[in-house]
Chain A
Amino acid sequence: MRLPSIRAACVLWCLVALLLLTYIATLRVNRDLGIETNILRLLPGPENFPGLEQAFDAYTQATLRDLVLLVGNSSLQAAKQDASGLASRLSANQRVERVRLRVSPEEQFALGEYGFTHRHHLLSAQDRRLLEAGEYQRFADDALSQIFSPLSGGLVRLLPDDPFLLSYRFARQAGQNDFDQVDLDDGYLVSEFEGASYVLLTVQLAASPFDSEVQEALLADIQAQESRWAEEGTGSELLRTGALFYAADAYREARWEISTFGGASLLLVISLIVLVFRRLTQLLLVVTAIGFGIASGFSAVRLLFGEVHLLTLVFGASLIGVAVDYAFHYLTAGEEESASSRLRGVFSAISLGLVSSAIGYSALLTTPFPGLQQMALFCITGLVGAYLTVIALFPVVRVGGSLSQPLLRLCSAYLRLGASSVAIPLWRAALILPLPAVLFTLLIEDANDDIRQFQPRSVVLESQEAKIQAVLDAPAANQFYLVRGDSAQGLIEALERTEVALDAQRQAGVIRDYVSLTGWLPSIARQQDNYRLYRALYDSSAARAFVDAGVLSEAEFARARQTLAGDDGAYARPASWQESAVGESYAHLWLGEIDGRFYAIVPLRGIVELARLDDIGEDAIFVDQIATINDLLGSYRYTASLLLLVATALIFLLLAMRLGLRRSAIVVSSPLIAVSTTIVLLGLMGQSMNLFSVLAMFLVIGIGMDYGIFFAERGRPSPYTQLAILLSALTTGFSFGMLAMSSTLAIHSFGIAMLIGIVTVLLLSPVIARMLTAREKGI
């Protein structure tokens, strides 16, 4: 085989290395590495509701930057005071866009202004029922009670234009926030729960909650304020929830694991390499091959996708396990004197190994799953990078020294196990393992497709979130209705139709309540009906109460009726609503125009029977984010499993062209047995399968194939090849064995599956070597 010019290849490699270093360094300096930690970015959007993906994204992005904080104390005054202190501190933080603690008099005025302007067209459901029942006196009584209260304040000034105080009445009933158990108390949003008073504070971040610098800055401020409360003995407690807290928790856990597990495995790997080669040159070469591979993978993904997900990096780091195969195979290639001879000896093996691994990963590229596509691209380009390092850089470096003879003897002894009388019968018996593995997969439905496995669980945060939900009676965060319309008015009408169905659900006890925009922005048709009801109120005998009580003169009341008449047709419309203070407070529910249609969200409160919630007509779909994502994870686990079989079959066909059917079958048997063993053992250990278990099996297939290919190309059971395999297996085992100790289920599953798979292929390597190099009749 003609090899490329070593010197020219090395120069080219150096140029590419320089480009990669420059690219990554530039990204780093500009703080633009683009590492994404948002789980949702791994997933494609739903397919059956055009525009849903953008709507999903808009709503998710709007809420991701929000933090909800509750300051609780047995004294309401103390809770207010401490909440004010916290708000002041957070307002000064540059990472914060806005802090909302008190509804200022100006804000209250602005909120009231919208209600006043449209007072003859806005009507709460409660008042609608009263007016339709003719309960006009109640309106007069309530208004008069308010007017003569010692705290009537400026309400009396509404009398000439709004004698029934309809604007104030509506604002009070419709509510000025999303939460049902929250009252407005001196501008503070407060809730009473189990004997304590809670003051609500909401924070909107100026940057992504997944940015570690944002997390550090916010957490430091919150921690400092809590410490102050403790020092002063105020007795306040802080409840918190928001994407930032969960992301920070996950990041802290991941960083700890990377520094401890990663550090430990790195130390073990370095020690092993130094022990075997007894020179730093080989260590540096291995590290260079791995580093170049990871840099290649990272850069390819960053360029093509514009970002690199953290889980892609985690999975991509597993490149170590495959990339080291090429390096070790070259470095243990025996006592050949020249670099070109050494390279010639391993070139076909590592090339075939690269192609087979690339075929395996390329199957993942065909999925519409951005996460899998990223991982596949990372691994393929990373392996190519490691491969190019071995063939372009390694040959120009004098590796010198000699291999550890005791280890070579150990490898020879290990290889001889393959010649024992039980080796091949055991191998034949192991060929049955795919059957129970298939049975386990089909019969035992113990797959864990919960997206929450992608993050370590925080019991503290989960309990605080549950308490906040209870205190505020907040709408469900992950289940809601997405409603659409062909126009803004069409959307409002669709929302009203949806509400009819949701009212029925509420009556049936399926949900306790829901939040809707149409209370503040009814359709034109409903506004016309509201206006009709108000006319009836003004025409009723109850209206005389204002004159009889001496509150208004006959002339003043007549002018009020004229104002009502003049308001006929002066409807509230979406554009003015959006520009109002009310519209701003509901902005997260009105998604606006997306792809020519209009969308809005209807949050639900107190979901009692989730299974009974479904789409309403054609324009309102029920969204259960967690369930939807979990379903997707499940389907992609299934897809990846099928692709695993397809990839194995394709690799078998490729190898058959080179090695023949018999030998390629022997090569493929090792990783197949390893994967089957993994499935069976996981099942027996009670560990559930998940997407990352399946992804680990792609690596096991790739690594197992490499081991077989190396022996097949060698032509004999070489202790040097066995040493390379032993080194590869041990380094991979150290790396993934550590991952198996992770508290994040996805990473743990990945690690344990890799560990079982690698140990199995290592155990099979002597018999595989024996069969690949023996004559046909012996097998």
Chain B
Amino acid sequence: MKMLERCFVVFTLLHASYAVADCEPETIGAQIAASDALYRFEQLKTVEYLSNPLRSSGLIWLAPGGELVWQVQAPVRSTTVISGDRITEFNRRDERQPGIDIALAHEISGLFLKLLAGDFAALEDSFDQSLDCSENRWQLRLTPVQSDMAALFDYLLLAGAESIERIEYGERRGDLTEIDMRRIADPAALTADLDGFLNAPDNAPP
């Protein structure tokens, strides 16, 4: 028994060492990047000035080319494509909308792109990062240090296991957004539909 106990202790120590060694943002990021990139999401946005929170659901897809396609399917269909330095929006009829002109939209879209791609290293200049791991789960907390981000966010929280399962962020103005995400095992059929938005010409549905 003592030998078994010793083996168990060694095993536990080794297991603990393995878990601690993997709890690095780079490792988590690589894990996220390697996972299938299509998620179904449920979002709850609590706005200080509204009595009801805003509920929406849809799909999030990180395309092979690095683009992010965010499609809200309920309560109203709309699609946002974020790629590098461009943002394109489509209404419920999948018609391309005029250029977005919301303040800091590009900073925010760039942030989402990096988070969902697991590129946490690219956020080191803008956020202090604190990673907690337990068993197979991890939680990354980002606290903004760069002025533009600090003006928008109090904090951002990513949590998951093999992929991202939750994004939460508190905004400086008091609003709270909680996004629960579930990875889709067989994305082919759905991504084929989303792919059409990546190359849609002006004023034509994908």
Contacts and interface: CB of A to CB of B under 8 A. Distances in A.
* Among A108, A149, A157, A176: residue with most chain B CB under 10 A: A149
Contacts of B51: 553, 555-556
A238 interface: no
B109 A552 contact: no
Nearest to A173: B98
18 contacts: A77-B85, A108-B101, A141-B92, A142-B91, A150-B70, A156-B47, A156-B50, A157-B47, A157-B173, A159-B50, A160-B49, A160-B50, A185-B106, A186-B107, A549-B76, A551-B50, A552-B52, A553-B52
Contact of B112 (A80, A150, A171, A183): A150
A141 B76 contact: yes
B98 A144 contact: no
Contacts of A256: none
Give the one of B84, B101, B109 with max A CB within 10 A. B101
A153 interface: yes
A598 to B, nearest CB: 31
B43 to A, nearest CB: 8
A23 interface: no
Nearest to A137: B92
Nearest to B76: A144
B104 interface: yes
A685 B52 CA distance: 86
A195 interface: no
A6 to B, nearest CB: 81
Interface string B35-76: 000000001010101111111100000000000001010011
Contacts, number: 113
A542 to B, nearest CB: 12
Contacts of B10: none
A429 interface: no
B89 A149 contact: yes
B99 interface: yes
A77 B106 CA distance: 11
Contacts of B108: 150-151, 153
Interface in A167-212: 171-173, 176, 183-187
B192 interface: no
B100 interface: yes
Contacts of A338: none
A48 interface: no
A183 B87 CA distance: 11
Interface string A124-150: 000000000000000001101111111
Given A151-B100, A156-B175, A186-B105, A76 B50 contact: no
Given A76-B85, A153-B104, A184-B99, 11 more contacts: A144-B75, A147-B54, A148-B43, A148-B54, A149-B72, A149-B80, A185-B87, A185-B106, A548-B75, A550-B75, A551-B52
B56 A141 contact: no
Contacts of B54: 147-148, 156, 550-551
Contacts of A146: 78
Contact of A155 (B72, B80, B102, B107): B102
A141 B94 CA distance: 12
Contacts of A173: 98
Q: Which 9 A-B pairs rank lowest in CB-CB distance, beginning with the nearest?
A: A183-B99, A145-B78, A105-B103, A186-B106, A144-B76, A184-B101, A549-B75, A153-B102, A148-B56
Contact of A105 (B56, B70, B104): B104
A76 B105 CA distance: 16
B137 interface: no
B52 A550 contact: yes
A153 B85 contact: no
B15 interface: no
B78 A149 contact: yes
Nearest to B47: A156
Nearest to A152: B102
Q: Count chain A CB atoms within 10 A of each CB in B51, B52, B102 and give the residue with the most.
A: B102
Main secondary structure of the interface of A (DSSP, over half): helix
A566 interface: no
Given A141-B92, A551-B50, A151 B87 contact: yes
Chain A interface extent, by class: 35 or more
A557 to B, nearest CB: 11
A187 B104 CA distance: 8
Interface in A445-485: none
A617 interface: no
A171 B175 CA distance: 25
A151 B91 contact: no
B92 A145 contact: yes
A659 to B, nearest CB: 80
Contacts of B78: 145-146, 148-149
A335 B76 CA distance: 108
Interface in A19-40: none
Nearest to A161: B49
Interface string A575-591: 00000000000000000
A77 B83 CA distance: 12
Contacts of B103: 105, 108-109, 153-154, 187
B123 to A, nearest CB: 17
A105 B107 CA distance: 13
B76 A148 contact: yes
B69 to A, nearest CB: 11
Given A105-B104, A156-B175, A148 B50 contact: no
A751 B47 CA distance: 78
B47 A148 contact: no
Most buried by B among A141, A146, A148, A160: A148
Contacts of A144: 75-76
Contacts of B100: 151, 184
Contacts of A172: 98, 101
Nearest to B107: A186
Contacts of A152: 102
B105 A151 contact: yes
A145 B49 contact: no
Contacts of A141: 76, 91-92
A156 B85 contact: no
A159 B50 CA distance: 8
A156 B45 contact: yes
A552 B105 contact: no
A103 B87 CA distance: 17
Contact of B76 (A76, A145, A153, A159): A145
Interface string A74-112: 001100100000000000000000000001010011000
Interface string B10-54: 000000000000000000000000000000000101010111111
A46 B52 CA distance: 64
The listed residue with most B CB atoms (<10 A of its CB), out of A77, A103, A153, A173, is A153
A80 B175 CA distance: 32
Contacts of B89: 145, 149, 151
A185 B107 CA distance: 11
Contacts of A187: 103
B80 A150 contact: yes
Nearest to A184: B101
Contacts of A149: 70, 72, 78, 80, 89
A375 to B, nearest CB: 53
Contacts of A147: 54
Contacts of B99: 183-185
Nearest to A107: B103
A535 B80 CA distance: 31
A672 B54 CA distance: 92
B7 to A, nearest CB: 50
B76 A550 contact: no
A47 B79 CA distance: 58
A77 to B, nearest CB: 5
Interface string B162-191: 000000000001010000000000000000
B52 A145 contact: no
A550 B55 CA distance: 8
